[in-house]
A and B are shown apart, each in its own frame.
Chain A
Amino acid sequence: MTEAIIVNGFVASGVYALLAIGFSLIFGVARIVNLAHTAFYMLSAYLIFTFTKSMGLPLLLSIVLSIIAVTIVGTLSYKLVIARVRQHEATTLIVTIALAIIIQEAIFIRFGGDPSSVPKLISGTTEILGVSVLNQQLLTLGIVLLLLLATWALLIKTRLGTAIRSTAQDREVANLMGIAVPRIEMITMAISVAFAAIAGALIAPLFVLSPGMWMHPLVMILAVVVLGGLGSLKGSLIGAFVLGFAEILVVFLAPSGAFLRTSVALTIMLIVILIRPQGLFGIVFEEER
């Protein structure tokens, strides 16, 4: 029981962390609330399913292909749709919801509502401290850690990272310093969608796929980024672990936990932002009052 909670908690938190960091990045840099974020994650999982089951491609190749394809779709939808309406906040929300519904319905028409599943990348289990863990779960955790390190390195150590961080801090001053803000925003969008695609590739072998699978993670990552503070990557990471574990604990321990898991996670989020309105690590922007 305890082992199951720990392993599942880490996997769930890791996936939420990946999704939330991508969501947080594009919000921090471009102030876009991308409600289609988890739809891209679902799209990636389904693309892997298509490539392996219908076209018979090897699994690794189809994962790479689907991540590339989803990133292209995400960047195009940013360029062609979101970027045009972004000065109207409410319209941006609706446009991203519409994108998510388009992806959901396209998947529904192509695959039907029945749940489907994808083969595991590596099979078998490993014994750690007397607990048997699926190798796929270990792989998921490893990739999550690797990606988090890579993001940190990208943001702190490279010129691109500096440009992204300065755009997030102050668009106008960044623009004056010679940073091509629209280009940085597009690159950030690509990174953000790529993260969602990778998260989708990671969970595809672990969970069943269905066209409604984007709703629950969307709610969770909204809670995660608010809990951690919008635009703060450290906050997103910690928030993901808090809510991921809370959810798994409720599922395993509480009676009728499957119904209450979202409620409990969201209640935790509410309590935190009622005490600290800007979230755990959020920054209050002066000009945004």
Chain B
Amino acid sequence: MSIPAAYAMRIYKLFRGEILVLPGRTVVVLFCLVLLVLPAVTSQPFTLRVLILASIFAIFAASWDLLSGFTGQVNFGHALFFGVAAYMAALLNMNLGLAPWATIPIGALAAVVAGLAIGVPCLRLRGVYLSFATLAFPLILAGVVLAIPSITGGELGVYGIDPLSKSRVVTYYITIPSMMVLGFIMWKIADSKTGLIFHAIREDEVTARASGINTTRYKLLAFCLSGFFAGIAGGLYAHFLMGAGPSTLELALSFQVIIWAVFGGIATIYGPIAGVFILYPLTEFVLTRYLGELQEARMLILAFIVLLVLLFMPQGITTWLRDRTEKVCPRCKLRNVATRTTCRVCMAELD
């Protein structure tokens, strides 16, 4: 057998063994493929625009999950990271003329600094106190932004910066793959030893500390990582809309990201991404296009949908589906299709 064929065989086996065995993973791969070939089918600017924004918000919601879902540090002010990075990217591009490939990482680093700046003082706070304290930061910053219009443009914001790309399709092929890659990285982080420690901190911080984990360091790490990914989302957003305004720091955005994440299912990473890709196109396409006269009621209908779904699936939509299609092996903790009677790896009996 030739070498390329051997590699192809190997990849095919990996594909069968790691992806096709679980319905959830198969769906994720199919979803990614559909997203990647979509511009070949339709190049309607509006469709692409909604999907681009959805992918940006998906990075943002997944980064909230990394901090709040895994570590349990429920952040009510996640818009801070988004807004700081968006303003940073916009101001750098506007004043220094840096290109998007430079401003977005710098904006993300600024968001990491913001993560440290709120992480350090909030280390002593717990539970609801932490949530309400984090709520304050973006609002304070928004007040400052509005009070110094000479630098930040006040209520109008900084507008007229460079777009990601002149063509909508190219922009689509920048944001959608970034969403997939960053989502995968976040999922890998959550799946690693670090992710396990994040879980431990959420479940019981005192016990985690008693087991020799430096919880302070890991909490700060969670703030920084989350800030970094949210910052990339903020930078992409600023360059896609060609500007950053005070709406990137609003309370509504902080709440919106929690709605997406909880609706999708927290502590999963793919949950918030699914939440965004269900709810955001739903408001923009279905409700906007087919409601007609009921146009004004679309937010109302959306809130009702969220309410009803959460009443019947309080853990979120993906967690509910996952628990019905997969079960965990009691011995090796691997996931299996619900139809199997024995574990796919260790052959233990599944209940």
Contacts and interface: CB of A to CB of B under 8 A. Distances in A.
A and B assemble together:
yes
B127 interface: yes
B99 interface: no
A252 to B, nearest CB: 16
Interface in B288-324: 296-297, 299-300, 302-304, 306-307, 310-311, 314-316
A102 B133 contact: no
A279 B146 contact: no
Contacts of A262: 139-140, 143
Interface stretch (A140-148, A150-158, A264-272): A264-272
B307 A99 contact: yes
Contacts of B259: 94, 97-98
Interface centre among A84, A108, A230, A273 (most CB of B within 10 A): A273
A200 B49 CA distance: 41
Given A81-B307, A90-B74, A277 B255 contact: no
A98 B133 CA distance: 22
A90 to B, nearest CB: 5
A97 B258 contact: yes
Contacts of A273: 125, 129, 133
Contacts of B131: 33
A239 to B, nearest CB: 12
Contacts of B297: 105, 109
Interface in A92-132: 93-95, 97-99, 101-102, 105-106, 108-109
Interface in A57-96: 81, 84-85, 87-91, 93-95
A279 B300 contact: no
Interface stretch (A11-19, A163-171, A177-185, A219-227): A219-227
Interface residues of B, number: 48
Nearest to B206: A289
Contacts of A85: 310-311, 314
B140 A94 contact: no
Interface in A230-286: 230, 256, 259-264, 266-267, 269-270, 273-274, 277-279
B132 interface: yes
B79 to A, nearest CB: 13
B340 to A, nearest CB: 29
A147 B216 CA distance: 44
B266 interface: yes
Nearest to A101: B303
B112 interface: no
Contact of B146 (A109, A259, A264): A259
A131 B224 CA distance: 53
Interface string B242-281: 0000000001100100110011001000000000000000
19 contacts: A27-B128, A91-B262, A91-B315, A93-B258, A94-B259, A94-B262, A98-B303, A99-B303, A101-B303, A109-B297, A259-B146, A259-B147, A262-B140, A263-B139, A263-B144, A270-B133, A273-B125, A273-B129, A289-B126
Query: Which 6 pairs of residues, A with B, have the shortest CB-CB distance?
Result: A263-B143, A266-B136, A105-B300, A259-B146, A101-B303, A263-B140
